[in-house]
Structure 1
Amino acid sequence: MEKLAIIDMGSNSIRFVVMQIADNQSYSLLYQEKEAIRLGHGLSQTGVISEEGMQRALTCLHVYKHIMEVMDIHECRAVATAAVRNASNGEAFLKRINAETGITMNVITGEREAYLGYLGVINTIALKDFLIFDLGGASVEMTLVRDGEAVHSLSVPIGAVTLTEKFGTQGNPDSEAIASLMKFVRKKMAAVPWIEDIQLPIVGIGGTARNFAKMDQRATNYELSKLHNYIMPLEHFENLYHEITTRTSANRKKIAGLSSERSDLIVAGAAVIKTIFDMTGSPE
């Protein structure tokens, strides 16, 4: 039996899981936790990760290191994504993490991030032709899959945290702000011409996608709590999009299933998903 720790430090949250791998290579989850650290907060304005963001991340990493010691785990795969990738002080931050916690963390490219997302989907969802989007705090990775093979892949530098900061959609954005946001997202997504009118199912990865599934489950009184492989029709998304973009901040927080820690980011996240639906003509 082997135990493996995995850390994924993104622009919005940090995730820690411990897997147990049996001699026959089957695996099971032993432990997991996630914290919203907002590492990408302010990055679009300053180009650097803030000291507050680094401290929030380091607090979590110290806890994870302690858990690894208690559970006698000697192997850890730790990766950082868009926030560290884009920040001018990203490399220095990784050296600080290693010096203070002993954890060696590597930055993965947008292409590598997209490929890892593809591996997760192709091995756990029974589809052959589809589009994957992995929406994070500072980037969205897109992968077009045909007959089970990834044929196109690209990372676009827009995310729920950076878009929220740029367009101020965390509060009560008016129709003009929403229109500006949508126009900007569409312009950025023009870098992905191979998704136009593909009319294939889209598979969402990340907290925003999961939160939309959770809201739809609550709205339809879905009987199971499992989010993986949950199918949401375009019509349901459109209904939720309307609710999210027309309510005040206070009323938005009352939407059943919407995470309190994501209520300020959900407008920007919704804009990205709506743009993907609009461009692809996808049904679900």
Structure 2
Amino acid sequence: MKRQSVIDVGSNTIHLLVGEVTDGGVLPVTGEKVSARLGSGVEKTGSIEPERLELAARAISLFARIAAMNGAPEPAILATSAVRDAKNGEELVARVEKETGLSMRLISGEEEAVLGFRGAVSAVGDPWEGPALVVDLGGGSAQFILGEAQAGPLMQTSLPLGTNRTTERFVANDPPKKKELKALDEHVKKTIPEWNIVDSVPVVAVGGSARAILKITSDPLTVERLRRLADELREVRSAEVARDYGLAPERARVLPAAATTLAAVLEHFGKEELSVVRGGIREGTLISLSEKSS
């Protein structure tokens, strides 16, 4: 069974996943991650900070070597919102090619949505009947995909609602103030699409912030629970949240925005609850690579 690998250059974290695809799912072989926070400041300045470009290039070079050591010598290197939106994003592309001989692709929000959807489907042991709404909440952008497990996406859009971006724009305080999260909530509801989604359609969330919420609570993620979680996070500094739940500090910092955004999505579409799955763009990419090589 051929191993595949992907380096996902996200707005908050750079991930490596090496895995094998079997029966439509991904068996992970190894994985690494580093918090480069490429999206930090992009909302305000339009550019990635030079030291973050340096860190990202070194991390990608290291991850490419790790992939090769684990039997997957040609990783797909995909850059998402932060690099895609930054004025100097092409600098990182050129640097990676010079240092590794590999090409990094700036994928569109639409491609990111499709890959995220495929990864979410692969992570569900018993795929849902009929359509589902997948919300891939990243650092710089959020992908909304309405689709069916077998037929694939029916409607999709990529919006600038990633947790790094919205935190920088709306949340100046740590912990955040109630009025900051209220302004964010209103912005999300005005931004997301007016899709007519029937009652039976489930909502599935993917992404690092959604998974981090599961470390804080095992309760069903209803609108009420997500609202209450945002209120709880307004009572404590993000450094304490990171310490108490074993989260990266930068991840803890954006969790109030994540909980607020997901609650707003549920309310907007008239849904009561969402589930979180661990698949996403990386798993979707490995499945795509496997299909192309077969």
Q: Aligned partner of 2:95: which letter?
A: R
- Quote how far apart the aligned CAs of 1:147 are: 7.6
Q: Which moved more, 1:8-17 or 1:88-97?
A: 88-97
- Quote how far apart the aligned CAs of 1:132 are: 0.6
Q: Work out whether residues 135 and 205 of structure 1, in 8 Å CA contact, stay in contact via their aligned partners in 2.
A: yes
CA distance in 2, matches of 1:193, 1:253: 35
Matched residue, 2:167: 164
Matched residue, 1:177: 180
2:67 equivalent to 1:68:
yes
Length-normalised TM-score, structure 1: 0.84
CA distance in 1, matches of 2:24, 2:168: 43
Matched residue, 1:32: 31
Higher RCO (Cα < 8 Å, 6 or more apart): 2
Matched residue, 2:203: 202
Q: Any idea what the Cα deviations from partners look like across 1:147-175, whole Å, max 9, x if unmatched? A: 85422100001211111111234613222
Matched residue, 1:238: 227
Q: Work out whether residues 132 and 203 of structure 1, in 8 Å CA contact, stay in contact via their aligned partners in 2.
A: yes
- Quote how far apart the aligned CAs of 1:135 are: 0.7
| Compared CA separation, residues 235 and 186, structure 1 to 2 (3 A) | closer
Q: Any idea what the Cα deviations from partners look like across 1:168-194, whole Å, max 9, x if unmatched? A: 3461322222222222222222xx110
Q: 1:272 aligned to 242, 252, 261, which one?
A: 261
Q: Which moved more, 1:91-100 or 1:162-171?
A: 162-171
| Compared CA separation, residues 235 and 178, structure 1 to 2 (3 A) | closer
Q: Which moved more, 1:84-93 or 1:254-263?
A: 254-263
Unaligned runs of 5+ in 2: 274-294
The alignment partner of 2:30 has SS state of strand
2:202 equivalent to 1:187:
no
Matched residue, 1:115: 114
- Quote how far apart the aligned CAs of 1:27 are: 5.8
- Number of residue pairs aligned between Structure 1 and Structure 2: 269
Matched residue, 1:227: none
Matched residue, 1:58: 57
CA distance in 1, matches of 2:81, 2:137: 11
The alignment partner of 1:243 has SS state of helix
Percent of aligned pairs with the same residue?
30
- Quote how far apart the aligned CAs of 1:202 are: 1.1
The alignment partner of 1:74 has SS state of coil
| Compared CA separation, residues 199 and 193, structure 1 to 2 (3 A) | farther
Unaligned runs of 5+ in 1: 221-230
Q: Which moved more, 1:145-154 or 1:34-43?
A: 145-154
- 1:253-264 counterparts in 2 under 5 A? 253=242, 256=245, 259-264=248-253
The alignment partner of 2:213 has SS state of helix
- Quote how far apart the aligned CAs of 1:241 are: 2.5
| Compared CA separation, residues 25 and 263, structure 1 to 2 (3 A) | closer
CA distance in 1, matches of 2:25, 2:178: 51
Matched residue, 1:18: 18
Matched residue, 1:224: none
CA distance in 1, matches of 2:61, 2:195: 43
- 1:73-152 counterparts in 2 under 5 A? 73-125=72-124, 126-127=127-128, 128-145=130-147, 149=151, 150-152=153-155
The alignment partner of 2:253 has SS state of coil
| Compared CA separation, residues 253 and 16, structure 1 to 2 (3 A) | closer
Q: Any idea what the Cα deviations from partners look like across 1:42-99, whole Å, max 9, x if unmatched? A: 1011111111221121221121133234345332111111111111221232011111
Q: CA RMSD in A?
A: 2.6
| Compared CA separation, residues 253 and 124, structure 1 to 2 (3 A) | closer
Matched residue, 1:228: none
